[in-house]
Amino acid sequence: MDDCTVIQGETLRILQSLEDASADALITDPPYSSGGMYRGDRAMSTTDSKYTQSEQRGTHPDFGGDNRDQRSWGYWTALWLSECVRIVKPGGYLLCFVDWRQLSTLTDAFQAGGAVWRGLVPWDKGGGARAPHTGYFRHQCEYIVWGSVGALPKCGHGGPWSGCLRYPVKPRDKFHQAGKPVELMRELVKIVPPGGTVLDCFAGSGTTGIAAMLEGRRSVLIEREPPYIEIIRRRLDAARQGVEADHEEPEQPDGLEAAASRPEGDGLTSDGAPA
């Protein structure tokens, strides 16, 4: 197995093809599908205005799957989580990012999918986070819902892990509209034993894979958007050479027709060979 295997396709379909107990942990950041108060909000064809500050808009490709209503999002989440419970080894970790709007729905879906819910880890993004106006508290935290597949054994290579993480978002470190800092992900992948495998079924720009590689872990990344597959490969190639990737984005497919015609389940490894 390569240090990082990249598979392009729809998450649920790809997960169904993976072997039982083949990963040591799930660490993932799915589309949140939150923040829309009206039907029109959920029919938007772009995620750029939602996730990107005005001065950075147009920098990263859009991504799909972010316009489900809350009930369908919870049902869909329970489906793919149930597959992850099968794929992660007994005693392995399950970590999933979420915002405050979908937090209660995710904790329900987490348990409906068969995971043992064990707590929350706040991620503090810092005082530069946005707020709608001066009457608000800043939305500077996202959350990691975490648990395990069955009983959780004592850790033989580290821990206990920090219960509150503080890492700012840096533009040069962000290759996706909702990208997470590499240093944050490096901290999270340490829950996996050295040489172990992390599964990320919503890989985005591949930050989990970069973090795993830097920390001596392996990873399996699933991503359905073709532009982000190219970004992942570029970042992995740079990381293997010990340098940082640039921010030159590949051309994004035009319109909904391109999204509708994207391949499903055409697994490709990180070197372009069939998975």
For residues 84-97, average pLDDT: 98
Query: Is there a domain that residue 269 lies in?
Result: no
266 assigned to some structural domain: no
d(CA 193, CA 273): 27
Task: Give the pLDDT of residue 1.
Answer: 47
Let me know if residue 119 belongs to a domain: yes
Q: Is residue 275 part of a domain?
A: no
- pLDDT of residue 156 exceeding 50, the answer is yes
- Give the least confident one: 38-42, 131-135, 225-229: 38-42
In DSSP notation, 87-131 reads HEEEEEEEEEEE-TTTHHHHHHHHHHTT-EEEEEEEEE--TT---
Span 237-263, average pLDDT? 59
Measured distance CA(72)–CA(69) in Å, rounded: 6
Residue 151 has pLDDT above 80, yes or no: yes
Q: How confident is the model at residue 65 (pLDDT cuts 50, 70, 90)?
A: low
Q: Would you say residue 214 lies in a domain? A: yes
- The CATH number assigned to the domain holding 105 equals 3.40.50.150
pTM of the predicted structure, to 2 decimals: 0.79
Structural domain harbouring 150: 4-260
| In-domain check, residue 238 | yes
- Confidence grade of residue 6 (pLDDT, cut at 50, 70, 90): very high
Our count of domains for the chain comes to 1
Domain membership flag for residue 62: yes
Dump pLDDT digits (tens) for 207-244: 999 999 999 999 999 999 999 999 999 999 999 988 88
User: Does a structural domain hold residue 242?
Assistant: yes
Q: Report pLDDT digits (tens) over 162-206.
A: 999 999 988 777 775 767 999 999 999 999 999 999 999 999 999
Is 207:183 a contact under the CB 8 Å cutoff?
A: no
